[in-house]
Chains A and B, each alone.
Chain A
Amino acid sequence: MPDSQHDGSAYNYAYLDEQTKRMIRRAILKAVAVPGYQVPFGGREMPLPYGWGTGGIQVTAAIIGRDDTLKVIDQGADDTTNAVSIRRFFARVAEVATTTRTAEATVIQTRHRVPETPLKDGQILVFQVPIPEPLRMLEPRETETRTLHALSEYGVMQVSLYESIARHGRIAKTYNYPVLVNGRYMMSPSPIPKFDNPKLDRNPALQLYGAGREKRIYAVPPYTPVKSLDFDDHPFEIERWSECCALCGSRESFLDEMIVDDAGKRLFVCSDTDYCRERRGEPVQ
């Protein structure tokens, strides 16, 4: 359905013009067809700076429709400035319902977290990605990283994990932890905590990743295997806390550490605000 003549706004439906959305959808289709492969796309200037989610917003704008329900989270929280602005932006330009409840959302745009509530068939998770190339810190040349991907030469990534163990006695990387998608492409999961890595594996939801500055889109289709790299004698492990969430008592979720008074008293609370609220049985604000 052409959305170009919708009423009451100087903007096209969902902000981007139809040609741009088609171009982005083509990139998404290709990304879905080749899981983990970074597809270049003609990224547009967006009304916010790079680093604020321009890649994620363009992906969301290209796939969102009037029947969708959108949730936006930033580091797990629905109520940060960035999450609130993006949610309002789409409410205005795409006339979609918004929600903070993971279970109710059809599209979830996220920065740095995967919701604790398990995702379902039909949901789409859109990640904001600052640096899409997982090998970038090891190999600065774009021509060379492309070749490494093309030939599946990923020894250098294993070298970085070796180096971490040699220096720290364990794999010290705690976020943006590299994964191999469908046994083929090395992928940056964006700066999510490694705690969230197991959720990427065989997830029923479609995962789309958008990098605005570098103009790359990649995807993990539903139920695709996603393996976190490791060594046989240093297997991949997620973070554990000796405390539970001070608000809901959860021992299964990713906890943020908070200092709550001048005496340095510490509290641990769920990073996923919606999950924590649900567990406490509180209504949506």
Chain B
Amino acid sequence: MNAPLLSARGVTRRFGGRIACREVSFDLWPGEVLGIVGESGSGKTTLLNCLAGRLAPDEGTITYDSAAAGTVDVHALSEARRRLLARTEWGFVNQDAREGLRMGVSAGANIGERLMAIGARHYGSIRQTASDWLARVEIDLDRLDDRPTTYSGGMRQRLQIARNLVSEPRLVFMDEPTGGLDVSVQARLLDLLRGLVDRFHLSAVLVTHDLGVARLLTHRLMVMQGGRVVEHGLTDQVLDDPQHAYTQMLVASILPV
């Protein structure tokens, strides 16, 4: 815990004349789960894509403490190295599982892809690893050879998580991972994610508009409004003692159960 895993400094991204995110700076330390909350259009997904190397910021830098190569400037890397990083040390869980999965091949092939991409060439052991991960995300083993098109929404999302975690990444980016799922399905996914984060000592950046999800999964929160981070702190501090007007409004908008 001597150095941050991921650091953002002054990250700004414009689309035409509109500023999607503005001068965002933070450090993510190993083992931390950082939530980014805010309503649609607040710039949280743009920021996530910048952090994950998918979208170049107009200003600012993002550095990552890589296991393979020490501290690297994510956007100064060659595309080849950035993509290598993305499929070995990182994961990315999309809100829409169809974007994160290969819908035309089996669950086993989906999980095995990262392994094969980094050189695994033993069918039997790839299949075994895929089975282990299927069990970890609570999918019946007899679904290993089925395509995700035959899976329910919750199962697809769990499969997407397995596909990402199989290479044992150190950092996972998640964009509304529980969005669009039924509440009971959400609960199962949240619990699963929580367990995996603990078990594999994952660090994560999670974008969500659901403060309940943020409460359950994250250690820290950044609240974004109009592209700016308006508040930042421990998750329970931000939710129990919100300081900024916008955060107070967000917290006050949660329906009591």
Interface positions of A (Cβ within 8 A of B)? 147, 150-156, 158-160, 162-163, 165-167, 230-234
Contact = CB atoms under 8 A, between A and B. Distances in A.
Interface residues of B, number: 22
Interface stretch (B17-25, B100-108, B232-240): B100-108
A230 B121 CA distance: 8
Contacts of B114: 155
Contacts of A155: 113-114, 116-118
Given A159-B112, A159-B113, A162-B109, A233 B123 contact: yes
Ranked nearest first, the 10 interchain pairs of A and B with the lowest CB-CB distance are: A155-B117, A158-B116, A231-B123, A151-B80, A155-B116, A232-B122, A163-B109, A163-B105, A159-B109, A162-B109
B108 A166 contact: yes
Interface in B229-250: none
B113 A153 contact: no
B83 to A, nearest CB: 6
Query: Which of B105, B118, B123 has most A Cβ within 10 Å?
Result: B123
Contacts of B113: 155-156, 159
11 contacts: A151-B80, A156-B117, A159-B102, A159-B112, A159-B113, A162-B105, A162-B112, A162-B126, A166-B106, A166-B144, A231-B123
A151 B79 contact: yes
Given A151-B79, A153-B83, A231-B123, A160 B105 contact: yes
A159 B83 contact: no
Given A155-B117, A162-B108, A167 B145 contact: yes
Contacts of A156: 102, 113, 117
Contacts of A159: 102, 105, 109, 112-113, 116
B16 interface: no
Contacts of A152: 80
